[in-house]
């Protein structure tokens, strides 16, 4: 099963279920909102397969984008298991980090 992260209509990222779950598990400790952390755990445990960032408050949206753009690739490089698919997975996560970096510039968090 694949997973989808939606930043806004027309701005999204999809991955295999395993990489999607790993990404949400990476995000969870970076969020200060306990309800948002619980939602990420629910998405993974129930195999819901999608994360809609606009459903969260603006500050949480910013925390998600900041974590993705600032720490995701390094964590993947460090924590994903070695093997033939690791390089492609890290590059795919780099694409997500790039999308998050571009998207967060348009986010209005006051």
Residue 104 main-chain phi, psi, to 5 deg: -65, -25
Q: State the pTM of this model.
A: 0.92
**What stretches of 28-85 show up as alpha helix (H) in DSSP?**
34-45, 58-79
Report the distance separating Cα 58 and Cα 55, nearest Å.
Answer: 9
- Bridge partners (DSSP) listed for residue 6: 12, 52
The per-type count for the chain, helices as H runs and strands as E runs, is: 4, 3
Which long-range contacts link 35-44 to residues 24+ away (Cβ below 8 Å)?
36/60, 36/64
- Residue 21, pLDDT > 60, answer yes
* pLDDT tens digits for range 58-109: 999 999 999 999 999 999 999 999 999 999 999 999 999 999 999 988 776 5
- What is the predicted pLDDT for the residue at 74? 97
Confidence of residue 24 (pLDDT cuts 50, 70, 90): very high
* pLDDT tens digits for range 25-68: 999 999 999 999 999 999 999 999 999 999 999 999 999 999 99
């Amino acid at each position: 099963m694949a997973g989808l992260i939606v930043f806004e209509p027309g701005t999204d990222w999809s991955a295999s279920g395993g990489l999607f779950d790993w990404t949400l598990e990476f995000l969870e400790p970076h969020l200060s909102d306990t309800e948002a952390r619980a939602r990420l755990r629910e998405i993974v445990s129930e195999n819901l397969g999608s994360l809609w960032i606009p459903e969260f408050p603006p500050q949480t949206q910013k925390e998600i984008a900041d974590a993705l753009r600032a720490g995701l690739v390094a964590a993947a490089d460090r924590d994903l298991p070695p093997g033939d698919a690791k390089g492609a997975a890290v590059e795919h996560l780099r694409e997500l980090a790039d999308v998050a970096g571009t998207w967060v510039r348009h986010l209005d968090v006051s």
